[in-house]
Amino acid sequence: IDLKAAFDSVDREVLVRALRERGVREGLIERVEEVIGETKSRVRIGEEISEEFWTGRGVRQGCPLSPLLFNILIADLEEEIARGKWGGVKLGEKRIFSLAYADDIVLLAEEEDEMRAMLARTERYMDNKRLEVNVMKTKIMIFRKGGGRRKRIKWIWKGKKIEEVKEIKYLGYVFQSNGSQDGHVRDRIKKAVGIMGQVWSIGKRKFGKDIGKRTWLFDALVWTVLSYGAEIWGWKEREKVEKVEERFLKWLLGVDRRTPGYMVREELKRDKLRSRAARRAWNFEKRLEEGKGGRLAKDCLEEIKERTGKGRGVSGWEKEREEFFRGAGLEELAWNREGEGGMVEYEEVEKKDKELQREERKEKIQESRFNRWYKRIRSEGIPEYLKKGWSEKRWGRMTRFRLGNEMRESRYWESEEKKVCRICGRERETWEHVWEGCGRGEGEGEESWQEAVERILGEEGKGEEWMKECLLAAILVFQACLATPFGLKPRITDGEDATPGEFPYQVSIRWGIPPLVPLRHACGGSILNEHYVLTAGHCILKIGKLKVFAGKHHISRDEDTQQEVAVERAIVHAQYPGGVAPYDIAILKLKTPLTFNKRVSAVTLPKQNEVRTGNAVLSGWGSTSKNLLPVLPDVLQKVTVPLLDNQSCLKKFPDNVIGKRPEIFDTQICTDAVGEISACSGDSGGPLVQLENNTPVQVGIVSWGVLPCGVNRVPSVYTRVASYIDWIHDIINV
């Protein structure tokens, strides 16, 4: 029953009469009259507040005395309804007709006719108290076993229809007509999820690197909301409740949402919430057994025990309790609350339940399809790397590898295409393949993949830096080491095979992280002299190894003409910011000098700032693919393309190709699109040359273009070598 403006509508004369009828001393009544009689109010409309005015009805809002006064006003409701000898529900030897907590009132009856009689009597009672019922917010719910079939029943209050519902909330607890607790649990989950994002933000801001305190915030702020009413629903494990915590823990560790919850819990050594919820239910029952708590709750427990003892209609609540104890291996407590040795402490119950949970997790980890290697590296306690005060980014990287997020074989639900190795693109991406297949060619030592997993993924976190390199490696190798903003990528498609020795200044720059990532062609370059090679700035990475291969024609096999030289130092232009930008130029200093011959020689540089026109020749081993997946050729490719002035170049980049027009700088040069001819992934850093009296003069360095290569018929962009002649000479003449 919902009372309309309950506290504000109290008739003060009726209240005073009720105080006298309940035997309150006259002196106290006078004090109450003084308090409520001196009540003034104001009305706020928008930002304006009215003048004060005296109120003639109601008790004070926010005053601690007001709920007590209202309770006294309706204290005789139970007595009044009981006089009719109709309605109520039997509890032991008593009948309970109503539940009332201030203005939250519930009427109880076992039969339809009884409820109608109670409503009629309550209607007269409310009139006598001069209280008005809000019929729109007043509801009726009929409990039926299993929900039952509803028949149409009309419920009327003063000519107005009362709605019959399947769910109703009383004092924050959701009751359902079928007696299930699911509705309340669903309501708690909704509220907990609603505040979880805020709690996450608070933890990130206040306790950024302290994973322990950030976990504690869940317990302090989310669990308290989620667990409301656990005294009733806590005996049964609620999967959706567990998933709320698992979602938070996944956020915390930075792992994918598909990561198994049991694995996340094992990493953090977090038991399920069922233990905590059951503790609440246990403690509630224990207090009632000790004679504490509300009278009605104690009577209910006695009724449950009596029914269970006589084998009469065991309640769903009692069944959930029995299943909990059986699951915890405490069969004797399922029926006998004290067990064989007297009242058992919950610590014993909880200990057995936690042992059971650990065994459950261990078994699932052993059989996991998601992460086959976690069983090799799981720790007995919380892993040491989580105690080091690392940033969220660092512990997230470590956890993602440990829990299987960074190996494609974990995606057992995906097609085989989506599980292909990002490094070589040939086989399924597994630890065995990466370590002993894909990476073994350039590997170091005889370490097995099992030993590598245990070392890299160990709880100490020693492999974290390796993981950082590995993540970048997988991306860079797959995309030919080229990353850019707004859909632009370094980019020879529709070219033709060069003849052996046609471009003796051309080199292949190989990059890798042995033994994980073998050295593979990543960029092109041109020989400046025996000690230096010219390439693009974006080809230089902070991790991994670089080697220069000169005298090459076939990229995929060793050749008698090839010279392989390690890089001593890479010098990137100081003003190059990375990505698609000007100053995309770098010089590699070689550890040992090249030996010049017919297949290995230097390119010629143009004059400082000279402007060139006409055609130019591009060479390289870049992708010949016209889709997003790079396909590298075996033989060196070449193509002739026309140079394009920057203004004309800009006009050929329509908005619908890349979403916005790029900026072309004076230190850059373009080549026009001829059919589907273009540079592509793997050509980056390579030379664009013009022949002067059969002497190759390098005018550009491949910088960036649009993917897929060639199909959009837009220009390719190069670093203008003539803009950097002084910079180049300053370095190679040192």
Active site residue 448: no
Instruction: Retrieve residue 266's tokens.
Output: 């094992």
Number of C-beta neighbours around residue 542 at 10 A: 7
> Could you tell me which residues come within 8 angstroms of residue 204 by beta carbon, excluding any fewer than 6 positions away?
214, 392
Active site residue 538: yes
Measured distance CA(294)–CA(419) in Å, rounded? 60
Q: Residue 427 class from Cβ within 10 Å (0-12 exposed, 13-18 middle, 19+ buried)?
A: middle
Backbone angles phi, psi at 615, to 5 degrees: -95, 160
Number of C-beta neighbours around residue 575 at 10 A: 12
Q: Which of 98, 227, 368, 684 is catalytic?
A: 684
The H-assigned helical ranges of 208-315 are: 211-217, 223-226, 230-233, 239-253, 261-268, 274-289, 295-310
Q: Strands 506-513 and 496-497, how do they pair?
A: unpaired
Reading phi first (left if > 0) and then psi (alpha if -120 to 50, else beta), residue 481 is in: left
Number of C-beta neighbours around residue 400 at 10 A: 19
> Could you tell me which residues come within 8 angstroms of residue 25 by beta carbon, excluding any fewer than 6 positions away?
none
Instruction: Retrieve residue 261's tokens.
Output: 């919850």
Cβ atoms of 88 and 35 closer than 8 Å: no
Which of helix, strand or coil describes residue 363?
Answer: helix
Active site residue 684: yes
Closest CA to 188 of 218, 220, 223: 223
Number of C-beta neighbours around residue 153 at 10 A: 12
> Could you tell me which residues come within 8 angstroms of residue 41 by beta carbon, excluding any fewer than 6 positions away?
52, 53, 55
Q: Which of 584, 601, 703, 716 is catalytic?
A: 584
Which of helix, strand or coil describes residue 460?
Answer: coil
Q: Which of 521, 538, 553, 573 is catalytic?
A: 538
Q: Strands 716-720 and 44-45, how do they pair?
A: unpaired
Instruction: Retrieve residue 220's tokens.
Output: 């302090």
Catalytic positions, written as ranges: 538, 584, 684
